[in-house]
């Protein structure tokens, strides 16, 4: 590779230490105002960047990639999910795509467990009662939620985050079940005490809690359709910390309105940042603003992973987190 510093364009503000290190290593162009790139800004960026560092809010589609300059050789995504990037189009232009897997696993699993607790024990609802000055003292039958111990948790997608959530769930006495494209290894199944279901519909009908932890792909779009939501027991709760597109939000809002589920906890949304109005204003629905990886440690680690991938590419080697279509 040439000794010339790579032109690296960041589409959003990243942690100060990450940006400083990028300035030291590359010809890094920062977004100090942290204003999201519109389409015109993205089109201009791919015309001048050797490496583009986008985030989930940037739509890197086939048209954008087709219009990129010949100098663009890498899209180093700041984040694990790459459903906003057309990987096939990038591969067709011989543009390397990388992501930042692993570094946000524990934080996202923490948030998933927090949502399970919040919805089951009505924590947000109770906190609002206190904040509104309406707490009038303990009574035996008021604000009763559901215990976790002994309940069945169905995890959809037993990758890194799904397994991390399962370990936390075991500590709370939950029975772990899961649906995946294929079973995990017998060693992991034994460690987690997990029961595999090859039929998602059958699993959904038997779970007390369902957590979505799979990637967004063509196959998983609206994985939880109206028909599948209707299969869940009325006492069940639904948690999503993966991608909003996994759920048909219009169908979910109808389910919520008809009280067909006990509760819902969402950290992601189908048309983010817009939220379906039918999900708002329900005490049994906990909605968070995409906090899954929102820890100082995770964001720093994500930035460090981006730097590692870009440096490895600059040195003429294969980046450790290269994404190829077969992985999706």
Residues marked as catalytic: 243, 272, 290
Q: Which of 26, 72, 16 is nearest to 310 (CA)?
A: 26
Name the residue with tokens 């590779």: 1
Determine the Cα–Cα distance for residues 306 and 299; give it in Å rounded to an integer: 11
Q: Which two tokens stand for residue 20?
A: 């400083």
CA–CA dist 237, 176 (Å, integer): 15
User: Residue 204: CA atoms inside 13 Å, Cβ hemisphere, count?
Assistant: 20
Neighbours of 17 (CB within 10 A): 11
Whole-number Å distance between alpha carbons of 182 and 196: 9
Q: CA separation (Å) from 288 to 50, 239, 275?
A: 35, 11, 11
């Amino acid at each position: 590779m040439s000794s010339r510093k790579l032109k690296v364009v960041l589409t959003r503000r990243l942690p100060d230490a990450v940006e400083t290190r990028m300035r030291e290593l590359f010809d890094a162009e920062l977004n100090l105002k942290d204003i999201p790139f519109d389409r015109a800004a993205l089109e201009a960026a791919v015309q001048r960047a050797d490496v583009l560092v986008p985030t989930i809010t940037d739509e890197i589609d086939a048209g954008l990639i087709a219009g990129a300059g010949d100098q663009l050789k890498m899209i180093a995504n700041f984040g694990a999910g790459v459903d906003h990037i057309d990987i096939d189009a990038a591969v067709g232009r011989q543009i390397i795509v990388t992501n930042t897997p692993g570094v946000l696993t524990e934080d996202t699993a923490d948030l998933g467990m927090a949502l399970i607790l919040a919805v089951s024990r009505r924590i947000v609802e109770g906190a609002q009662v206190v904040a509104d000055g309406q707490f009038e003292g303990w009574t035996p039958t008021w604000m009763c939620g559901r215990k976790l111990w002994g309940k069945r948790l169905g995890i959809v997608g037993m990758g890194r985050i799904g397994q991390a959530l399962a370990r936390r769930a075991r500590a709370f006495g939950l029975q772990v079940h899961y649906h995946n494209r294929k079973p995990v290894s017998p060693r992991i199944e034994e460690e987690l005490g997990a029961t595999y279901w090859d039929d998602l519909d059958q699993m959904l009908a038997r779970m007390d809690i369902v957590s979505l932890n799979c990637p967004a792909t063509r196959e998983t779009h609206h994985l939880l359709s109206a028909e599948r939501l209707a299969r869940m027991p009325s006492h069940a709760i639904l948690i999503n910390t993966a991608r909003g597109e996994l759920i048909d939000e219009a169908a979910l809002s109808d389910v919520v309105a008809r009280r067909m589920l006990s509760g819902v906890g969402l950290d992601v949304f189908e048309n983010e940042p817009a939220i379906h109005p039918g999900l708002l204003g329900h005490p049994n629905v906990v909605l968070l603003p995409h906090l899954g990886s929102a820890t100082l440690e995770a964001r720093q680690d994500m930035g460090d992973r981006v730097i590692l991938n870009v440096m490895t590419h600059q040195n003429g080697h294969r980046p450790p987190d290269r994404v190829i279509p077969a992985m999706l």
